[in-house]
Structure 1
Amino acid sequence: MDTPRLSLAPYLCLAGAVLLWGTSFTAMKYALMGFAPMVVVFLRMALASLLLLPAWGHVPKAGRRPGDLKWLALMCLLQPCLYFLLEGFAMSLTTSAQAGMISSLVPLLVAAGAYAFLGEPLGPRMVLGVCLSLGGVVWLSLCGAAEQAAPNPPLGNLLELFAMCCASGYMVVIKHLSRRYDSWHLTELQVFAGAVFFLPTALATDTRWLADPAGALAVVPLEAWLGVAYLGGVVTLGAFGMYHRAVVSLPSAQAAASINLVPLVAVLAGWAMLGERLALGQVLACGLILCGVLLGQTRGGRRAQDASPTGAPTADA
């Protein structure tokens, strides 16, 4: 009787990780109801750091070799620093649904980065898939209309695209580092570096917390606090842990393919929780993006399955 439960556990973990990553875009919109973008990111990194701190001495740490420091620094620069710097402002300008759709580009961008920097082959289907998906992003941005919760979708989508480029570069770097470093140790380094980086960034971009911290605190709604808690405690750590548990037991291709469901969850969560709507042109643009992603990951295209679990879309998204 125990065998079915054991075989089902990896799939439940995979589904849970996809659900958390997909809903993280909606949680970010809730957090932005009370905090400036960089304040949200700092609080998220600080909370994750506090939760990971007790485990610091229990996570295996490989001895560093000459040259490792530059790779570790590049990892932290790409994600969380540049990634969240870009995505934080992107989420204040566009809808969670559109940002979630753009995140589906990550597997294709990873393959393109591996081709450019690691010399890995890039099939013609992958090239066509990248072109179709980028065309879909442009179409999606041009169809986006300004609204109160998304005042500048084209700029927000562009920043989100740049954030995905950083995430893809990070995955290429993590592929190199994960051969020797424990994935949880790399996560610890990232959240600690993020907390240090985003503290001055948050204070510089939102001076209310220096001038009148009590007043700034008083106007933050409960929804914003819940959004930050969900991002820092549940998404950053929970999604990563579940995805890591899943890929240990499942084929990497199967686990990586499931990431394509994250944009769908993001769109549904934005519709159900924020009342976001997509116009017909945006729906068609989303379809073009997904077609490009699926084309690039079918046989004949270069699958971006080799990325480490730590680099799943926005295990920190």
Structure 2
Amino acid sequence: MNATNSNKNILPVLAILAAVLLWGSSFAAMKHLVGTLNPWAVMWMRVGFATLILTPFMGRLAGPVKKGKDRLALAFMALFMPCLYFLFESYALTYTTATQAGLISASLPLMVSVGAGFFFKEKTTLAGWIGLALSMLGVAALTLSGNPSGNASNPALGNLLELIAMGCAAGYMLLVKRLSANYGAWTLTTVQNAAGCIFFLPGLYLLFRDGLGAAPVQILIMAGYLGIFVTLGAFLLYNIGMCKLPAGKASAFINLVPAIAAFFGWFLLGETLNSVQLLASAVIFAGVALAQYGGKIEWNRIPFLKLAPNQNN
């Protein structure tokens, strides 16, 4: 009995860890592809592979879309992800390194938290606001300390585009929070991929015009990996974990994405960070950690925060 309960508890965790590993690895793969092909072509292949695998199951697993406000919400969800998110991120990776882009993704949970407080009236703690400020400070330092190199022709522009992509991802997650009450994961994923295929359709023309480069088999394998395993598989794995674990616990795993992205950027692309960027990365992680665990801090017991009230007594 205990073994059965243990398996039920660990399987959702393993599903989310697998999703996070896939997301973290995608930065290096995308960096390689956009160095060979136009970003529009890369993105059409990515959503195209995902849709190709998803199509046979659409009729059985995807439910109908209701009329009214849901359609507008679904349209904005698909616009944010995959359309604008993939567009900004693919262009970001043409200018900055996979490592820096991955580190900037650490700001995503904080953006979602603040957005939930604004739109859904969920309480954002003092630790959350301080953590967000620290994280943004770290992102700014990471961006300003980057110098143009072979892997990053314009890191300031690339990091800014990646930050905008994270804003789009946050908007997507907030809309999914609202839509998930009426629609299942398969329906939402189907809408996303169909919208992506239409939005990135100019990429199909570019594929026919420019071809797949000098190593077409390698390009197809990497695009297939991104489309099938990352675009489709990772989201489904994460949704499986979300169904079994508390939302707060599940979202905490996203904080592993920057570290995984940095590892693959170093291991596959030979990317490194200078000393200032390492310090900036530490500030980003400190902000994320403070926002995640700072709610447990009893702020009224911190001496310099309770000094003024004591003087008034």
What TM-score does the superposition give when structure 1 sets the normalisation length?
0.87
Match of 1:86 in 2: 88
Match of 1:304 in 2: none
Is 2:152 aligned against 1:157?
no
1:115 Cα deviation after fit: 2.5
Shift of the 219–271 alpha-carbon distance from structure 1 to 2, 3 Å rule, reads same
Superposed CA offset, 1:255-305 (max 9, x none):
21111111111111111111111111111100101111111122428xxxx
Match of 1:74 in 2: 76
Match of 1:245 in 2: 240
For residues 199 and 149 of structure 1, the distance between their equivalents in structure 2, rounded to whole angstroms, comes to 28
Letter in 1 for 2:127: R
Letter in 2 for 1:51: I
For residues 16 and 113 of structure 2, the distance between their equivalents in structure 1, rounded to whole angstroms, comes to 22
For residues 119 and 8 of structure 1, the distance between their equivalents in structure 2, rounded to whole angstroms, comes to 32
Is 2:181 aligned against 1:179?
yes
Match of 1:284 in 2: 279
For residues 265 and 248 of structure 1, the distance between their equivalents in structure 2, rounded to whole angstroms, comes to 24
For residues 204 and 158 of structure 2, the distance between their equivalents in structure 1, rounded to whole angstroms, comes to 19
Asked if the contact 2:15/2:241 (under 8 Å) is kept, the reply is: yes
1:238 Cα deviation after fit: 1.7
Match of 1:188 in 2: 190
For residues 68 and 142 of structure 1, the distance between their equivalents in structure 2, rounded to whole angstroms, comes to 41
Match of 1:223 in 2: 218
How many residue pairs match? The answer is 294
Asked if the contact 1:33/1:224 (under 8 Å) is kept, the reply is: no
Letter in 2 for 1:97: T
For residues 172 and 11 of structure 1, the distance between their equivalents in structure 2, rounded to whole angstroms, comes to 22
For residues 225 and 40 of structure 1, the distance between their equivalents in structure 2, rounded to whole angstroms, comes to 10
1:148 Cα deviation after fit: 1.7
- What is the Cα-based RMSD across aligned positions, in Å? 1.9
Matches within 5 A, 1:41-120: 41-62=43-64, 64-120=66-122
For residues 217 and 150 of structure 2, the distance between their equivalents in structure 1, rounded to whole angstroms, comes to 20
**Gaps in structure 1 of 5+ consecutive residues:** 302-317
Which has a greater percent of helix?
2
Structure 1 vs Structure 2: percent identity of aligned residues?
43
Match of 1:307 in 2: none
For residues 53 and 185 of structure 1, the distance between their equivalents in structure 2, rounded to whole angstroms, comes to 12
Is 2:253 aligned against 1:258?
yes
235-244 vs 89-98, which deviates more? 235-244
Is 2:142 aligned against 1:147?
no
Asked if the contact 2:89/2:161 (under 8 Å) is kept, the reply is: yes
Asked if the contact 1:35/1:220 (under 8 Å) is kept, the reply is: no
Shift of the 20–218 alpha-carbon distance from structure 1 to 2, 3 Å rule, reads closer
95-104 vs 193-202, which deviates more? 193-202
Letter in 2 for 1:146: P
1:6 Cα deviation after fit: 4.7
1:85 Cα deviation after fit: 1.2
Letter in 1 for 2:86: F
Asked if the contact 1:45/1:191 (under 8 Å) is kept, the reply is: yes
Asked if the contact 1:33/1:223 (under 8 Å) is kept, the reply is: no
1:99 Cα deviation after fit: 0.6
For residues 85 and 32 of structure 1, the distance between their equivalents in structure 2, rounded to whole angstroms, comes to 11
Asked if the contact 1:102/1:161 (under 8 Å) is kept, the reply is: yes
For residues 247 and 85 of structure 2, the distance between their equivalents in structure 1, rounded to whole angstroms, comes to 24
Match of 2:265 in 1: 270
What TM-score does the superposition give when structure 2 sets the normalisation length?
0.88
Asked if the contact 1:31/1:226 (under 8 Å) is kept, the reply is: no
Match of 1:10 in 2: 12
Letter in 2 for 1:277: T
Asked if the contact 1:99/1:160 (under 8 Å) is kept, the reply is: yes
